[in-house]
Structure 1
Amino acid sequence: MRSIPPFLPKLVRHLVLLGTVSCLPGLRADDGAPEPPLQSVGSLVAQIMAQNPERQFYEAEIDAAKAGVRVARAWNDPEISLDAGHKRVRGDYGALAGEGTAWSVSVTQTFEWPGRISLRKAIANRDVELARLGLDRFNQALSARARELAFGLHAANAKAAAIHEVADRFAALRETFLARDSAGLTPLLETRVIEAAELALQRRATESGLAVQAALIELNQLRGAAPESALRVAAPALEFRPVSAGLGALLAAARENNFDYRMRRVELEQQGYAVRLAKNERYPSVSLSPYYSDAKAGDRETIVGVGVSLPLPLSSGKRGAVQLAEARQRQAETAVLVAQRELEREVVTAARAFETKLAETRRWPSDTVARFRDAAGLADRHYRLGAVPIATYLELQNSYLDAVESILDTQQETLAAGLRLEQLTGLDLNPVEIAP
């Protein structure tokens, strides 16, 4: 009787660990730790939206933009100046006529040209709008990514469970071969075929395990938890809905709701205010300085008056600032046109991808995986009875695994295409999650 190859027990244990629903906890050394509670996709997305640390960056950006509004609408602070000194008065022949102290005080207030502060405030308000659009865009992308990862974690666990099921059959069958008399060519060749099938399963098991870990680590990072934290996600039941709106309606909704395109339009509007501000700044600001001075040098001399000052436009810097702002405005106009073209292309591509994937998912009956599982189990029982050749047996086992992977991958791609189309158009087009 041949001895069991040393890799077989280790391979079986590895497949069993990859097939656990709780994924990563099965790979940890602390097997006695309690399993975390089962979470639905909706509750996991809500937790990520509430605890994601990256949202603080966008919230701080809004606070900074609001502070910029307060700065833009504020007047210049007045300036006060105080002069003090000693004054001497001499007569016509140089004789000292008197001496004493002299001092003066003045307050200077600069007044902007009419409309300048309101233009600065308008530009700052667009910064606030851009910051809010950035936060909304991040929230939308975060929610979509969380749903994709949650379903990806479920799909990876389902694939690992199917691999574990087939691996158990191969392991049991090989033990049966080892218990039999190994005389003859056919038993030896069939044993080698099973060993080769186990090696192929090892690659699938490794890929599935890596997919589980990658999805779990990213989900933990999104919800602000440690990368190795345990997490269990309930298997979502998805009902894919067709897109009822036509292509024209989708494009119109995208132009109205898409966050990236709206940000480009706000930037264009903001640049228009920047051009108007640059033209306004060609006119000088006026500074008024009421002052009071007092001098005692024999006689007492008191002066009260108002000073007016303004810069002389001797350089061409103001004209250059206008030209620069107008050039930036033309760039913003071009950016809006380019963004619109890219948005329309992405909407058409995403809509076609979603329709194609949706049609593909609807070709399968709801019990497709169950029928392949039953066929694989039936082939296992009849192969042991000698009624099914080994080629048919292996084909049915691999077909079962291929069917599970194909269905889950297509569902995941359909979900991603639906979420992408929702991000582009702002419409509720993603698949509906039904409580299992």
Structure 2
Amino acid sequence: MRRACLALLLAGAASPAATAPMTFGEAAARLVTEAPALRAADAARRAAEAGLLDADRRPNPSADIEIENFAGTGPYRGVDGAEITAVIEQPIELGGKRRARTAVARADIALALAERQGEARRLLAELARTYGNAAASRARATIAQEQVALAETLAAQSARRLAVGDIAEVEHDRVLVSLGEARTELERNRRDTETAERNLALLVGATEAVEADPSFLATGSVDPAQIAIVTADDSRIAAIADRERARVAAARAGRIPDLTARGGVRVAREEEAVALVAGVSIPLPFFNNGRARVVQAQAEAERANLAAEAQRRDARRTAERALGNWRSALRSLENIEGRTLPAAERLVALTERGYRLGALPYRDLADAQTSLYASRRARIDAQEQVATAKADVAEVTGAYSALGLPILSERNPEVFK
């Protein structure tokens, strides 16, 4: 077995196709640059900031020019008797409409920032799950490759023993069957690895193949009992509530009619006289007093707040479920590493010695090896479950550093806050 593993390592080191794996931190840095969802969130923030600039402006004035008493008949023939009136009108907002508009726009900016942070948390959690799956697939493929190398070594030994009559032909056939099964398992694990790493490449926006680092599965973290279930979406929920309150206030301000002031000059060509004109207009809310808009804004605010609260409760349930999965996977991992795996390794060592001495049949050795590789795969499965559960918890709580997941503080301290 030692010779087979050494040969496998040397073959891997000499392979020209070997490439350095992309670390999780490198994948996260690339995700920040490539993710269309984050760029869309940045565009939404810029739109909200532009909306604030627009909301903080007064209404534009308008200019009117009227020509009367021209191109008619009798004394109004031609343009000598025309009267020309030039007027500038300026709407005057009442009831704090401009202040209400800017409050809504500021709330939109705060909400855009909160939603951007939430999208970043979702993407990082998705990256952790995808990277963990790819790392686990590659680790399983490595185990399968070791299993094939060992089976090939045993097949060569079995052929030599068969040639000298040391074992029966049926015993050699069992060795060949085990070799075929190992090669089939290796092929399946390689396909799974290709699929998982292709998904990882698509997520980070890479055109070339991305190789995951299996050491990611051994990333340490705090005890799950120390994680407080506090949803990181509280800032988004607060921003939603502020925006809806601002919209209700804007609807109430809209009920107060605005004034329109008019001022200008009138020129009478026939009298060769000039006079000033002025006026004020105010709409009369006989048919629509704006009450329906206030009721509509209040109902929309209630709907948005209740929907946000429902999302927060769902997030808490998701975190509780993820913590339960995390604790269960940790217990399984501790049991495998502390009991099952050491026992399987001792059993293989004993049966291999007995098989070499001819005291045990190959069936016993094959069963022991199957148990060992099953234990190693079970450890990888438990590690992947831990990584997935940590990603689920991090998506809800935002506790990435406590969970052993890097925060890209050197790029943007707020990107995964």
TM-score range, shorter chain: 0.7 to 0.9
Aligned with 2:278: secondary structure? strand
Aligned with 1:386: secondary structure? coil
1:235 aligns with one of 215, 237, 256: 215
Residue 407 of structure 1, CA deviation: 0.7
After TM superposition, the score normalised by the length of structure 2 is: 0.81
1:218 aligns with one of 199, 203, 224: 199
CA gap 1:312/1:182 in 2 versus in 1, 3 angstroms: farther
Residue of structure 1 in register with 2:48 after alignment? 65
Residue of structure 2 in register with 1:333 after alignment? 305
Give the Cα–Cα distance (whole angstroms) in 1 for the partners of residues 134 and 225 of structure 2: 30
Residue of structure 2 in register with 1:354 after alignment? 326
Aligned with 2:279: secondary structure? strand
CA gap 1:234/1:348 in 2 versus in 1, 3 angstroms: closer
CA gap 1:126/1:413 in 2 versus in 1, 3 angstroms: same
Residue of structure 2 in register with 1:421 after alignment? 393
Residue of structure 1 in register with 2:140 after alignment? 159
Aligned with 2:215: secondary structure? coil
Aligned with 2:323: secondary structure? helix
Structure 1 gaps of 5+ residues are 1-15
Residue of structure 2 in register with 1:5 after alignment? none
Residue of structure 1 in register with 2:409 after alignment? none
Aligned with 1:113: secondary structure? coil
Contact 1:241 1:432 in 2 (8 A): no
Residue of structure 2 in register with 1:311 after alignment? 283
Contact 1:39 1:234 in 2 (8 A): no
70-79 or 418-427, which deviates more: 418-427
Residue 90 of structure 1, CA deviation: 10
Structure 2 letter corresponding to 1:278: A
Give the Cα–Cα distance (whole angstroms) in 2 for the partners of residues 190 and 65 of structure 1: 75
Residue of structure 1 in register with 2:90 after alignment? 109
Structure 2 gaps of 5+ residues are 1-7, 407-417
CA RMSD of aligned residues (A): 3.5
Structure 2 letter corresponding to 1:194: V
Residue of structure 2 in register with 1:80 after alignment? 63
1:43 aligns with 2:26: yes
Contact 1:73 1:121 in 2 (8 A): yes
Residue 125 of structure 1, CA deviation: 1.5
Contact 2:114 2:239 in 1 (8 A): no
CA gap 1:406/1:382 in 2 versus in 1, 3 angstroms: same
Aligned with 1:294: secondary structure? strand
1:272 aligns with one of 234, 245, 249: 245
Residue of structure 2 in register with 1:400 after alignment? 372
2:360 aligns with one of 385, 388, 392: 388
Q: Larger % of strand: which?
A: 1
Aligned with 2:285: secondary structure? coil
Aligned with 2:168: secondary structure? helix
Give the Cα–Cα distance (whole angstroms) in 1 for the partners of residues 247 and 76 of structure 2: 63
Residue 150 of structure 1, CA deviation: 3.2
1:148 aligns with one of 129, 143, 163: 129
Residue 213 of structure 1, CA deviation: 1.6
Contact 2:134 2:200 in 1 (8 A): no
Contact 2:44 2:112 in 1 (8 A): yes
Contact 1:49 1:143 in 2 (8 A): no
Give the Cα–Cα distance (whole angstroms) in 1 for the partners of residues 393 and 72 of structure 2: 87
Give the Cα–Cα distance (whole angstroms) in 1 for the partners of residues 160 and 254 of structure 2: 95
Give the Cα–Cα distance (whole angstroms) in 2 for the partners of residues 45 and 282 of structure 1: 50
After TM superposition, the score normalised by the length of structure 1 is: 0.78
Contact 1:369 1:400 in 2 (8 A): yes
Aligned with 1:76: secondary structure? coil
276-285 or 81-90, which deviates more: 81-90
Contact 1:268 1:333 in 2 (8 A): yes
Structure 2 letter corresponding to 1:66: E
Structure 1 letter corresponding to 2:43: A
Q: How many residues align?
A: 394
Structure 1 letter corresponding to 2:297: A
Residue of structure 2 in register with 1:287 after alignment? 260
160-169 or 341-350, which deviates more: 341-350
1:136 aligns with 2:117: yes
Structure 2 letter corresponding to 1:154: A
Structure 2 letter corresponding to 1:235: S
Residue 46 of structure 1, CA deviation: 2.8
